[in-house]
């Protein structure tokens, strides 16, 4: 059966992660979507020296292995520094390079990155040609480092249909077809895709072999709430059929969680059921 995973923040933070890993494994997960390097502003890992970071991530990797878990992807840095200037975009690239090296230390095969979105920062409608040029520069800058480290960079679709042309899968595919694709692929975020009404089956088939990994969560049109699957409006039958038809072999990776204010033992029961949803997807896709 396909492996299942979930974001690390669903079970633990930066410290005392071993107990969370044990619980993840007990609930049936195979892998971790590591979020520890996601927040530039809040992650203590960005304040560590290179040596400190390597020791931390090496210990994390060893703990995951001891608990029977892989680290199937790492979420790249967000928010970007400033996508409106060349200097800001170069700084974003440096953060992403740090993420790639971090993934290598973790033995993690993928880094998920957001596209540069200059129009979002300026509060204006996107310019498709500008978006293409700045993101071609982004991916071409990351490709050699990705290849060196053996880590695939996965471009994620966005939930900003007015400010980013990479809210649309056809534009993601066009960009990926322009870049050397060996270590540059796509991450399909189901909730982001569904902010603008579209056919998720067609989107998956359009990506085809470009699709390397997933961010699975539900939403309602016009929102990006990271709901539990089946609590929003996504066509999950189309999602399953699309992944089945392209013979998807990646991890069924959830980007949602049970809220930390949920009382115990109710929270435990809900976490188990959330893992069962991931198992359901895996089973249905492999039918």
Is the distance from CB of 45 to CB of 105 less than 8 angstroms? no
Q: What is the total count of domains within the chain?
A: 1
Token representation of residue 261: 């204010």
Please state, rounded to an integer, the average pLDDT across all residues of the chain: 96
Rounded Cα gap, residues 66 and 270, in angstroms: 25
User: 169: how many CB neighbours lie within 10 A of its CB?
Assistant: 23
Q: Cα 18 vs. chain centroid, distance in angstroms?
A: 22
Residue 216 φ/ψ, nearest 5 degrees: -100, 120
Give the sign of the dihedral formed by CA 49, CA 6, CA 232, CA 284: positive
Contacts of 2 (CB under 8 A, 6+ apart): 248, 249, 250, 251, 252, 281, 282, 285, 286
The pLDDT assigned to 108 comes to 98
Residue 10 belongs to domain with CATH number = 3.20.20.150
pLDDT (average), residues 154-180: 96
pLDDT one-digit tens code per residue, 210-259: 999 999 999 988 889 999 999 999 999 999 999 999 999 999 999 999 99
167 DSSP 8-state letter: G
pLDDT (average), residues 1-27: 97
The pLDDT assigned to 180 comes to 76
Look up the domain containing 185 and give its range: 4-285
Q: What predicted TM-score, i.e. pTM, was given to this entire model?
A: 0.97
The pLDDT assigned to 192 comes to 97
């Amino acid at each position: 059966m396909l492996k299942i995973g979930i974001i690390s923040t669903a079970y633990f933070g930066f410290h005392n992660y071993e107990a969370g890993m044990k619980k993840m494994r007990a609930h049936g997960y195979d892998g971790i979507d590591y979020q520890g390097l996601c927040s530039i502003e809040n992650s203590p890992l960005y304040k560590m020296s290179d040596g400190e970071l390597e020791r931390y991530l090496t210990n994390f990797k060893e703990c995951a292995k001891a608990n029977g878990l892989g680290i199937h992807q790492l979420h790249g840095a967000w928010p970007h520094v400033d996508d409106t200037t060349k200097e800001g975009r170069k700084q974003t690239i440096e953060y992403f390079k740090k993420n790639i090296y971090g993934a290598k230390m973790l033995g993690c095969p993928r880094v998920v990155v957001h596209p540069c979105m200059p129009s979002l920062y300026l509060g204006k409608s996107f310019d498709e040609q500008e978006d293409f040029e700045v993101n071609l520069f982004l991916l071409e800058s990351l490709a050699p480092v990705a290849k060196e480290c053996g880590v695939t960079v996965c471009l994620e679709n966005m939930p900003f249909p007015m400010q980013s042309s990479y809210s649309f899968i056809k534009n993601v595919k066009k960009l990926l077809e322009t870049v050397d694709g060996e270590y540059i692929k796509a991450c399909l975020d189901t909730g982001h895709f569904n902010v603008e009404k579209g056919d998720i089956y067609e989107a998956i088939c359009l990506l085809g072999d470009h699709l390397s990994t997933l961010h699975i969560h539900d939403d309602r049109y016009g929102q990006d709430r990271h709901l539990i699957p089946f609590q929003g409006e996504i066509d999950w039958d189309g999602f399953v059929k699309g992944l089945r038809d392209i013979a998807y072999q990646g991890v069924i990776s959830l980007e949602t969680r049970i809220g930390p204010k949920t009382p115990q033992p109710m929270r435990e029961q809900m976490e188990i059921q959330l893992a069962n949803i991931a198992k359901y997807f895996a089973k249905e896709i492999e039918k």
